[in-house]
Amino acid sequence: MVRYAEGMRSTLATYLRDDLQAGRRQGDFHYTHEEMAMSMIISATLGAMNLLVEDGEVEHADRITAEMVLQALGVPAGEAEGIAGLPLPGEDG
């Protein structure tokens, strides 16, 4: 089980790093330390999941978390709100 979790974390980290680097290249993300940016995103995501598990329903928790993470990465507030409100691929919206 431990080895499985390590592999999953490694795979997820690769995707996260790729997304961070793409956002930086495009000029959307501004961060000073890539590993710290990754840790911040992971911590925010796990924190939001924990809040949902412990406190039950939090309306729009997914959008709130995405918006706050985008702002922390340097995306302007209005733009972050718009992006966070977009439907996920395959979602009917």
Domain-embedded: residue 92:
no
Domain-embedded: residue 12:
yes
Domain-embedded: residue 40:
yes
69 pLDDT higher than 70: yes
Which tens digits make up the pLDDT trace of 7-41? 667 778 889 999 999 999 999 999 999 999 999 99
Residue 1 binned pLDDT confidence (cut-offs 50, 70, 90) = very low
What phi and psi values does residue 29 have, to the nearest 5 degrees?
Answer: -105, 140
Domain residues for the domain of 34 are: 2-84
52 pLDDT higher than 70: yes
Domain-embedded: residue 50:
yes
Counted domains in the chain: 1
With a pLDDT cut of 70, the percent of the chain lying above it is 89
pLDDT at 90: 83
Structure tokens at 2: 């431990």
Domain-embedded: residue 76:
yes
pLDDT at 85: 94
Specify whether the CB–CB gap between 51 and 41 falls below 8 A: no
Alpha helices by DSSP H, 1-93: 2-25, 34-55, 61-72, 77-84
53 pLDDT higher than 70: yes
Domain-embedded: residue 53:
yes
Domain-embedded: residue 91:
no
Domain-embedded: residue 90:
no
